[in-house]
Structure 1
Amino acid sequence: MPPHLSPTRTTAALRTSARISVDLLLVLVMTAVALWIVGRMWSVVWPLVVALLLTTLTWPIAAFLRRRGWAPALAASVVTVLFLLVAAGIAALIAVPVASQSGQLTDGVVDGIQKVREWASGPPLNIGDDQITGAFDTAVARIQDSLGSAVTTVVTGVSTVFNGVVTAVLALFLMFFFLKDGPRFLPWLKGQLPGRLSVDVPVVMARSWDTLGSFVRSQAFVGLLDAVFIGLGLWIVGVPLVLPLAVLTFVSAFVPIVGALFAGFVAVLIALVSNGLTDALIVLAIIVAVQQLEGNVFQPMIQSRGLGLHAAVVLLAVTLGGSLAGVVGSLLAVPVAALIAVFWNYLREQLADPSPEPEAQPAAPS
């Protein structure tokens, strides 16, 4: 006969489950409230986040200058100006080649559409010109009908660009102040917090800063390697816009997994439009080979101490971040996951039982 359930143990288990459920519910409610507050303050939070990411990327240069005896304000000013010059140079490297080769790309797109039309009119599809023309007319009619929404979209786009400019300006000012006064922040914070918080919060923030800096700098170096190797391959194949595509590869490296797929898709598409199917397949093979080299060689070497996140966790974090907040969510997903891991590891350290003292071994008889 199966053993009878103990009423006492069953009641205790139910009470424990109920208590844990209530605790988890409170944690979820507090998390939702915190996210709601962050959303309401996003116009301030987003420039702050961008400034922190830029500061982790540029801090080694500022720290080097400060060790050489430069005043904090002077070092921060020089690094900020250098960053602006580099950003302007990158923008020029993208805009000038694209503008100079825009006509060639337009002709390639037209030729590609014509090839697709010829292919569709032949076997096995056998789509006639009348059907293609009818589909084209329908598409034009829909565009005309949606003219009002198109105007709304343009207005929204102008507003987005304006907000982006404001965010960039605020982020630059904040980056300057972080570079100038950053080392004084934790000592000041320690003096403002009471009791145990004056110890725990600075430790967690220091570890978070180290983790964030490791992530940004390692991603920048990996992105640079990807840009060099993929750009070299595109140049050998003869694909146009090699320099803008290499810069896009570097920038996309800051969005793990998704960024590499996007940059690769753009490179293959331009190769297909400008050079044909054979070169597009060659470019695809080059990108896959470089990405495999990055995942199996570059990142394990560069991120030897890493973030402590499994590849599956990274993929899920990027997917969840993208579904919740689009491109911004994809960009911040991995750093946020890494910071959560830092907090969780510190919490485990504080809640873990102290390791028992090793027992003294009796002396061997002489």
Structure 2
Amino acid sequence: MTVESVGDGYQGGVDAQTRSDSESNPESKPRRGTIFAAHLRSSAVVAVQFVAVAAALWILAWVVGKTWVVVLPLVLGLVVCTVLWPPVRWLRDKGVPPAAATLLVLLVAVGVVAGAVAAVAPAIIGQSGELAQQASAGVVQVRDWLGGPPLNIGEEQLNSAVAAINDRLSSSSAQIAAGVFTGVSAATSALVTLFTTIVVVFFFLKDGPGFLPWLRRTVGEPSGPHLSSVLGRIWSTLGGFIRTQALVSLVDAVLIGIGLVILGVPLAYALAIITFIGGFIPIVGAFVAGGLAVLIALVSNGPVNALIVLAIILAVQQLEGNVLQPWLQSKSMKLHAVIVLLAVMLGASLFGVIGAFLAVPVAATVAVVLRYYGEQVAEQAGENAAAP
């Protein structure tokens, strides 16, 4: 049933009831109660349809949650494929067999990531002790600030707060121990997910070009062409989004990292990496990474240094928002800032950090589907569909 037929059915019900009243009493117009009843029946039908759609979406979300251990490697593999597919396609165009091209690009990508981690890890380990000492000194400074004007919190109140925290930690020792075991289990699950994702990426890159033709033949007419078209658009949108975000995040990380190194902020390399990763979580990621850099600069180098770091981060963010993204991203891939923020919050609340990372790609995918649906509705209505 199409949207037009549903709308015509509702209007037809009202018109039929109106004609019935007019025919039974030609000299009078339809009664208000009759019109209200017809509208109420139409609203009831719409309400039932809305409840049915909401229930279907809830069941879909429940199934995704229950099968998340399988869905997550597939989604991560798809995201990684959007980055690795251009070099694989270039090698295949040069005559390299699909399996060899995929394996070569995958090994290079793993080597680059492992090399970056190996290059940064010594600096992080070497500076972690110094950072811990500076953090302790920062706690003392905060305590002195709380005891002075304008707050003037007494020594007894501060000691009582510290004692309450210690008591809370002591009473929660069993929960903390359980959290440690949970962390070990999560680390093991992360390793399994990582290995599964690598295998999925290999087969996606190797056999991916034949998926859409196979799906179109399998589904058949009339749904096959629509499904193939919308999946092709989703792939293009995700690829453009991920590659653009990677480039923008790299520029942010390099510029902010250079500023942190010049200012002598501890863990500058680690903060640059966090900035790069945070760039894939719009708005929230930049806020968290920037706040962490400012906090470390405040604890280690003082308020003046922290203000300079804050100015550098704001300048880089302005460069990103006003120059890089408008230049690198096409308008069809952009989402309103409110939608991005709500998507990140919803993804983080449902699936944690990985949900925040995948929130914007999922929102972009939904936007592509809705845009395609709008084009089809406009075509059936005889309107001029907007360019995708």
Partner of 1:361: none
Bigger relative CO (Cα 8 Å, ≥ 6 apart): 1
CA contact (8 A) 1:214 1:306 kept: no
TM-score (norm 1): 0.91
CA displacement 1:81-131 (0-9 Å, x = unmatched): 111112212322442211011121122112112222222333333444444
Q: Any residues of structure 2 matched to 1:51-66 within 5 Å, and which?
A: 51-66=77-92
Q: Any residues of structure 2 matched to 1:163-174 within 5 Å, and which?
A: 163-174=189-200
In the alignment, the residues of structure 1 paired with residue 116 and residue 353 of structure 2 have an alpha-carbon distance, to the nearest angstrom, of 21
Amino acid at match of 1:112: G
Partner of 1:362: none
In the alignment, the residues of structure 2 paired with residue 119 and residue 29 of structure 1 have an alpha-carbon distance, to the nearest angstrom, of 54
Q: Any residues of structure 2 matched to 1:70-219 within 5 Å, and which?
A: 70-219=96-245
2:270 aligned residue (244, 262, 279):
244
In the alignment, the residues of structure 2 paired with residue 52 and residue 290 of structure 1 have an alpha-carbon distance, to the nearest angstrom, of 30
In the alignment, the residues of structure 2 paired with residue 44 and residue 341 of structure 1 have an alpha-carbon distance, to the nearest angstrom, of 24
Offset of 1:8 from its aligned partner?
A: 4.6
In the alignment, the residues of structure 2 paired with residue 69 and residue 141 of structure 1 have an alpha-carbon distance, to the nearest angstrom, of 68
CA displacement 1:268-325 (0-9 Å, x = unmatched): 1111111111101111111111112211111111102441421221122112222232
In the alignment, the residues of structure 2 paired with residue 271 and residue 53 of structure 1 have an alpha-carbon distance, to the nearest angstrom, of 34
In the alignment, the residues of structure 1 paired with residue 298 and residue 145 of structure 2 have an alpha-carbon distance, to the nearest angstrom, of 15
Partner of 1:256: 282
Sort the Cα spacing of 1:81 and 1:9 in 2 relative to 1 into closer, same or farther, 3 A. same
Amino acid at match of 1:232: I
CA displacement 1:258-277 (0-9 Å, x = unmatched): 11111101111111111111
Query: Structure 2 regions of 5+ residues with no counterpart?
Result: 1-28
In the alignment, the residues of structure 2 paired with residue 354 and residue 145 of structure 1 have an alpha-carbon distance, to the nearest angstrom, of 66
In the alignment, the residues of structure 2 paired with residue 93 and residue 357 of structure 1 have an alpha-carbon distance, to the nearest angstrom, of 57
| Most deviating of 187-196 and 177-186 | 187-196
In the alignment, the residues of structure 2 paired with residue 52 and residue 87 of structure 1 have an alpha-carbon distance, to the nearest angstrom, of 18
In the alignment, the residues of structure 2 paired with residue 325 and residue 231 of structure 1 have an alpha-carbon distance, to the nearest angstrom, of 30
Please provide the CA RMSD for this pair. 2.1
Amino acid at match of 2:244: S
Residue 44 (1) aligns with residue 70 (2): yes
2:46 aligned residue (20, 24, 47):
20
TM-score (norm 2): 0.86
Offset of 1:171 from its aligned partner?
A: 0.2
Query: Structure 1 regions of 5+ residues with no counterpart?
Result: 359-366
Offset of 1:137 from its aligned partner?
A: 3.0
Residue 222 (1) aligns with residue 222 (2): no
| Most deviating of 32-41 and 234-243 | 234-243
CA displacement 1:221-252 (0-9 Å, x = unmatched): 11011111111221222212222111111111
Amino acid at match of 1:10: F
SS in 2 for 1:172: helix
CA contact (8 A) 1:90 1:247 kept: no
How many residue pairs match? The answer is 356
Partner of 2:330: 304
In the alignment, the residues of structure 2 paired with residue 87 and residue 79 of structure 1 have an alpha-carbon distance, to the nearest angstrom, of 12
Sort the Cα spacing of 1:355 and 1:22 in 2 relative to 1 into closer, same or farther, 3 A. closer
Amino acid at match of 1:312: V
Partner of 2:355: 329
Residue 276 (1) aligns with residue 302 (2): yes
In the alignment, the residues of structure 2 paired with residue 356 and residue 252 of structure 1 have an alpha-carbon distance, to the nearest angstrom, of 44
Sort the Cα spacing of 1:33 and 1:74 in 2 relative to 1 into closer, same or farther, 3 A. same
Offset of 1:28 from its aligned partner?
A: 0.8
Offset of 1:154 from its aligned partner?
A: 0.2
